[in-house]
Copies of this chain bind each other. A is one copy, B any other.
Amino acid sequence: MFLKNNWYVAGFGEELTTTPLARTLLGEPVVMFRTESGEVAALEDRCCHRNLPLSHGKVEGNSLSCGYHGMVYNTTGQCIRVPGQDVIPSGACVMHFPLVEKDGVLWIWMGDADKASPGRIPDYPIHSDPRWAHKGNHYTINCHHELINDNLIDLSHVGYVHGKTIGGTPGAHSEAQISTERRDDGVTVRRFMPGTVPPPTYQRAMNFAGNIDRWMEIRFVPGLIRIYIGVNDAGQGFDEKTQMDKMGMRIFNGITPETENTTHYFWTAAHNFRVTEPEVTNNFYGEISATFEEDRTVVEAQQQRFEQFPGRKNVHIKTDAGGIHARRVITQLIEAERLAEKGNQAPAGPVIRIAQTV
């Protein structure tokens, strides 16, 4: 059960060339390619003749030809040529999916194509802002996508899981000042940690003289979590206007279900310090990368237990609020989608606003 009418990250623009790229998204094998004129396109990755994945084929002009018997498809999935015969068999076509390149990210719409409005694609100008340097990667994680949401929305875990990099004192995270804002289409969690010891990654980057103040804003919408972090020497205040604090970090987290229990994770880490030094960007990327491998271990182990014991009792704690709201946002959007498919309107007021701090 996926939320289908939603823009999901399908990859990074720089990944896509005229060589077809195969990726399973929301349980559907997809082939993406760039035509010779530079357009990006996404089709069902299956020739309608004998089911060879079209990703085994090749781009010719603005078309994709199958690697088995040479059938040619255009970017909307229509077969436009069958070698050796003049007639195109009736019904010779495959599904196509709207695909948009924006901010260096490939955004795909796996639901009803008529509802795919590019205007609703989330913004991420940081990828092209010269005040920020970034580097990222793509992982496949063996867990349900909501476990990654939980992990990123509740950062109180960083003290326990990431002590060697971005964590620092565990208690400081558990006792952060937290507010949670719920909207119809997302959740924002804000955390403030005044006067705490700088964790190793921060210290290696900035060599702080003493304690620091940290703020973090985690903006969740289905499929994307943007994390904004600002750091300054304790008591020095923040740059509230431009959010270009002494040490600023931005983490882009594209979270796209591959299957029910595996998830694509497309991420970039950006920093606003020493942005012209590639070695600084590489080091920062390396530390975040190590951190995410620690998270992978956690969420994949959770997944195993949830699969083994679907009925076992779980308890909630205070810091779960953001993650629980995110689950409700997804549940309500799926429900609305289900009702709309039946030709009904979503019931009036299905979304109940919840007080900002839970």
Which residues of B sit under 8 angstroms from A160, Cβ to Cβ? Answer: 66-70
For residue A319, which residue of chain B has the nearest CB? B84
Complex contact B83–A312 (CB within 8 A): no
Q: Does A241 contact B (CB under 8 A)?
A: no
Task: Point out the residue from B85, B157, B312, B318 that lies within 8 Å of A317, measured CB to CB.
Answer: B85
Contact in complex: B302, A174 (CB < 8 Å): no
Closest to A66 in B: B160
Cβ of A268 < 8 Å from any Cβ of B? no
Select from chain B the residue with minimum beta-carbon distance to A323. B50
Chain B proximity of A81: nearest CB distance (Å): 10
Q: Which residues of B contact A85 (CB under 8 A)?
A: 317-318
Q: What is the count of identical protomers in the complex?
A: 3
Interface presence of A21 (CB below 8 A): no
Complex interface: chain B residues within 8 A of A305 (CB): 29, 46, 51-53
Are A302 and B67 within 8 A (Cβ)?
Answer: no
Contact indicator per residue, chain A 86-98, by CB within 8 Å of chain B (1) or not (0): 0001111000000
Q: A315 with B156: in contact, given A170-B70, A305-B46 (CB under 8 Å)?
A: no
Given contacts A46-B305, A46-B312, contact A298 B67 (CB under 8 A): yes
Q: When chains A and B are docked, how far (Å) is the Cα of A318 from the Cα of B49?
A: 11
A150 to B84, alpha carbons, bound, how many Å? 17
A117 on the interface (CB 8 Å rule)? Answer: no
Q: Is A297 an interface residue (CB 8 A)?
A: yes
Measured CB to CB, the closest approach of chain B to A210, in angstroms, equals 24
Chain A contributes a number of interface residues (CB within 8 A of B) equal to 52
**Contacting residues, chain B, for A312 (C-beta < 8 A):** 46, 48, 51
CA distance A306 to B70 in the complex (A): 19
Chain B residues whose CB sits within 8 angstroms of the CB of A49 once the complex forms: 314-317
Residue of B nearest to A22 (CB): B301
- Which single residue of chain B is at the shortest CB-CB distance from A160? B70
- Contact among B53, B161, B174 for A84, CB-based, below 8 A: B174
Query: Closest approach, in angstroms, between the C-beta of A58 and any C-beta of chain B?
Result: 10
Known interface pairs A68-B157, A174-B70, A305-B46. Does A52 touch B314 (Cβ–Cβ under 8 Å)?
A: no
Which residue on chain B has the smallest CB distance to residue A305? B51
Contact A317 B161 (CB under 8 A): no
Please give the distance in Å from A142's CB to the nearest CB on chain B.
14
Inter-chain contact B84/A313, CB cutoff 8 Å:
no
Proximity bits, A55-87, B CB within 8 Å = 1, else 0: 010000000001111110000000100111100
For the complex of A and B, the 5 pairs showing the least CB-CB separation, nearest first, are: A84-B174, A83-B174, A51-B305, A89-B315, A92-B315
